[in-house]
A and B are shown apart, each in its own frame.
Chain A
């Protein structure tokens, strides 16, 4: 008899029954969790399959590289791809430094009193604001007040504000996760607080901050409402010429094709093509960011 068997045999009958019940409960629990997981994967797979099966047919080299022709029924969507890239890039360029700076202030400098707590609540609430409200804000402030007009700049800034809360809270989390002992080590070597933040804390927090950027890129690239009034146009001749020009963008293009089209049959197909493209774009950006993060991690941690 094995040692485990001997131990089991030694238990009183009631205890053996209880342990059976407990192991059954555990099995049921795991099964339920597994089922939830499977449902998740199923929906993800279904969406991907649905989009891919309908969009794949529309995608070819011309679709990716040409400008639209014959009132959106032929040609490609290259300007919309470029427009989305510009808008996303602009938003990240604006929101990343601002968001990281804000997170550094909140975690490293601000007094830990009610004012910091208030700021934190503010940031979190910013994340809950509906995106169309950001769009209206952008219209009022950037398009009208600052006079940037309907342009890449206005759209990028609006999207940037949308991305801010995600970047701030991810950066805050990453900064808080850097152990206090590492900060102390740096200070004890005669470094100032700023040197400590710049040379030790921020590099250590970088992987976490990049996670925030990945999340925000995913969100920003796919948003329609914020660019509705601030940047997007249904049709622009050729590619955007300057940061002050209107642009086509994939999410808005999908919306426009599905609502204002004259040839629904053909345009629906193009819309699915655009959806697939947008999905691929977001995924590949995430992938690149994940790769950067992995390399950072490897550099930081033990091999």
Chain B
């Protein structure tokens, strides 16, 4: 009888222990992230886009470069789901093939920008004083130019082309990442943990990479995702303006630009590439929002 009574107490104590064990940061993140339904769906949609970017050019039903003058500017049909353009090329095939370009431009440019920004941000935040002042003034100057204008300026110097668009977008992402990483670094740096590591004589580089960098990682991931959407938009805008990808590239912005002249007779030439840009950017933005809510309670509403 006594034993039976004691189990209630023991059960209580045991349950308390389990509660402490079961909450790892990742399971906590996954639990919160799964609740963000739109972000969850976007995540899988982006995986699908990545798969499409890899295999897309091999599985498209039509050749993306070969003109077909018998089928010029036809609207959507069973054969041509999104219609054909001024050269009779299948728009659906070109959009699928273009996924590669947009994702490549978005990912590389933001990756390079994040790399540079993280480097400068960590250095500025960790060393402080003069180093910080110089890096941050540099950021101020770059941020004094509205993003896309800086990109246009850079392209004016380097000349039009997709490669230069990547460089331009990367450069104007650098100060944004540098600022975020710097402020997170300052916050992490002041924690007791890093102070303690410093006092036992760890070398700066080790402190930065082992202790400060992981602490800033969650804000980097969130901004990285959100930035990809706007990088894809910027790259498409520049291609639309004739400064990025050049025809006959199936880049979505360039395709759209090509459709402008036929807006009144064949609007589908502009509608579908634009929809592709919109949905892709929307997916990245929704994923970014979801990650922000799940990862970073500081930026959270």
Q: Do A and B bind each other?
A: no
B interface list, Cβ under 8 A from A: none
A interface list, Cβ under 8 A from B: none
